[in-house]
A and B are shown apart, each in its own frame.
Chain A
Amino acid sequence: MKKIRSLGGSVGRTFLTWKALSSFISLIAVLAFFYWQVGDILFNKSIVRGSILDLGVNWAIVAMPVAMLMISGEFDLSVGSVYALGACGIFKLFQVGLHPLLAFVIIIAACALIGLLHASITLRLGIPSFITTLAGMWFWRSVVNAMWQYTPTAPQSAINYFDNVFGVRLGGGWFYSKFLILVAIFAILWIVLERTPFGNSIFAAGGNYDAALARGSKPDRTKMVLFVLTSTLAGFAGVVSATSAGATMTNTATGLELYMIAAAVIGGASLTGGVGSVEGAFLGTFLLRYINTGVIQMGIESKWFQGIVGVVLLLAAVLNRNFRRRVIKRFT
């Protein structure tokens, strides 16, 4: 009995001190609100698969590394443009007639190199990543606009090659197979952040750069890896998006970078680094998807999406700052 109670206590404590608790609470609150407003319409198969998960998977693949980068004390505002480069770029290589796999490898490598470039400029020249990647956001978007017409096309056979991997309906039609890829990426990134020495160096790099340096935890190398990871996954998400939708546009994912930062912040990340979580960014992304879908279902004009995101972002930030501090004081 005592054992059970102490187990219950430790589970409860783990839950209450969970870094992503406020994003979890926010998600529940938003779901409850929409349930109250529009009933179970948001929870049927086609909405969950099509409106929530489809775009949600593409977004979450980007939001998680963005959160890790923010924990290390850096930003990446270029993810929307790199996503577009991945999406339009792979279509271009399909057009040229490359084998789909070769096209994939080339695009992913290119996006990794872009991350390396951002990292080098930021870390070698000491330019804040906010500036470096803001420049990157505009530059890579221009590259996309200059190289392709508004709606790039690609041979259906090449698209199918990937759609057969990413776009298979599974789970009785509740989700596409790419959701499993997201789950795999989530698991890997969670372990990396929470259960490896490298993860420890991520928190240290953003929490106290000088201390990280003095302890030999190599904060610059850590940031470099994260810039590359973020760009690579942004490009990958673009590829997933274009091939599973079968279409893309040169202005796809415009403004994505700020939603990714919002997802990370809702998930407990701070703009000053040192805190945050992978699962928080994951939950934060789906929170955004639910708000997006919910306002449309409510029949209020979708213009209100951004307004509500703003309010939720603020609430989550307040929760993270005040509520979490108090809970931790009581329960650790």
Chain B
Amino acid sequence: MSENDLLRCEDIHKYFGKVHALEGVDFDVGEAEVVGLVGDNGAGKSTLIKVVCGIFPPTKGKLFFKGEERHFSSPQESLQAGIESIQQDQALVEEMDIKRNFFLGREPKNNAGLLDVRKMARESMNGLSDMGLEIRSPDVEVNELSGGQRQGIAIARALHFNFDLIILDEPTNNLSIKESKKVYDYIRELKRNNLSAILISHAIQEVYPVSDRIVVLRNGKKIIDKAREEIEMEEVENAIIGDIVEEGETEHLMM
């Protein structure tokens, strides 16, 4: 754990009633680093991320962002601090068109104090084409778009507003191989801009190609935290399912 970590979580615990969903997880993300956060369904990935972006507080543990201890009590607070999160099913409003989605919660106003619809249309289209995403009109409703286009919009939107850390929960879930490749391109684009990201998935193949570091959660505990060069995909895969890493071994794997 280095001094100039962008995000640092220390000993995070989370209980849902009697369910101990996170059991003392240490987790950090460096500057311009892409971290792949993997684990089987129910491992606690989404819970950890929800703690980070203030959807609910941890039962115990500390959270530092840009070197300061933070207690986010709403997604809005973490957003303002510079954490963009694109959660499964929580990114876009399907019945709303692109421009309205793009500026949701941060709508620009014109001189009359009303919604600046023209600016919304223009800038949302610019944002999309900067990422190589061509959609015919800003008035198209999101429910007409493919899963890949939706991820593209969510990422373009994040890029449009400055952020320091972006969290993508299962970004290639339900996408075709071709569309997944596009999403990886978007993520590489983030890296070129020296931005940090957390990629969440239950399948290591989805995040391994673009991650700098791999973190594995199992049953609410961190069992692997290694640079990508130091670990093979198979090893991670086995750890996720729990074949190789046994209880005794988890200690020295944690760093």
Contact = CB atoms under 8 A, between A and B. Distances in A.
Given A197-B107, A204-B96, A214 B114 contact: no
Contacts of A199: 115
Given A215-B104, A215-B105, A207 B76 contact: no
A208 B92 contact: yes
Contacts of B117: 195
Summarize B's interface: helix, strand, loop or mixed.
loop
Nearest to A272: B95
Contacts of B91: 211, 214
Given A196-B114, A214-B90, A216-B76, A207 B105 contact: no
B192 interface: no
Given A214-B87, A216-B106, A203 B115 contact: no
Contact of B114 (A191, A203, A212): A191
Interface residues of B, number: 33
Summarize A's interface: helix, strand, loop or mixed.
helix
Contacts of A196: 114-115
Nearest to B144: A329
Nearest to B104: A215
Interface string B108-148: 01000011010000000000000000001101110010000
Output the residue of A17, A207, A210, A218 with the most chain B CB within 10 A.
Answer: A207
Contacts of A217: 104-105
Output the residue of A195, A199, A201, A211 with the most chain B CB within 10 A.
Answer: A211
Q: Lowest 8 A-B CB distances belong to which pairs?
A: A216-B76, A215-B105, A197-B107, A207-B93, A274-B95, A217-B105, A216-B105, A208-B93
Interface in A196-246: 196-197, 199-201, 203-204, 207-208, 210-218
Given A213-B75, A216-B79, A197 B94 contact: no
A200 B117 CA distance: 11
Contacts of A207: 93-96
A322 interface: no
Output the residue of A17, A215, A329 with the most chain B CB within 10 A.
Answer: A215
Interface in A176-209: 191, 194-197, 199-201, 203-204, 207-208
Contact of A211 (B80, B92, B114, B115): B92
Contacts of B115: 194-197, 199-200
Nearest to B141: A328
Given A197-B115, A208-B90, 7 more contacts: A201-B105, A204-B96, A207-B95, A213-B74, A215-B75, A217-B104, A332-B139
B95 A211 contact: no
Contact of B93 (A191, A195, A203): A203
A263 interface: no
B196 interface: no
Nearest to B80: A216
A272 to B, nearest CB: 9
Given A195-B115, A204-B104, A216 B137 contact: no
A200 B104 contact: yes
Contacts of B75: 213-216
Given A200-B115, A328-B141, A212 B85 contact: no
A52 interface: no
B218 interface: no
A145 B140 CA distance: 50
A197 B109 contact: yes
A212 B79 contact: no
Output the residue of B87, B96, B103, B141 with the most chain A CB within 10 A.
Answer: B96
B221 interface: no
A218 B92 CA distance: 15
17 contacts: A191-B114, A203-B95, A208-B94, A210-B89, A211-B89, A211-B90, A211-B91, A211-B104, A214-B79, A215-B106, A216-B74, A216-B79, A216-B105, A274-B95, A275-B95, A332-B136, A332-B137
Contacts of A213: 74-75, 90
A207 B106 CA distance: 17
Interface string A269-302: 0000011000000000000000000000000000
Nearest to B113: A196
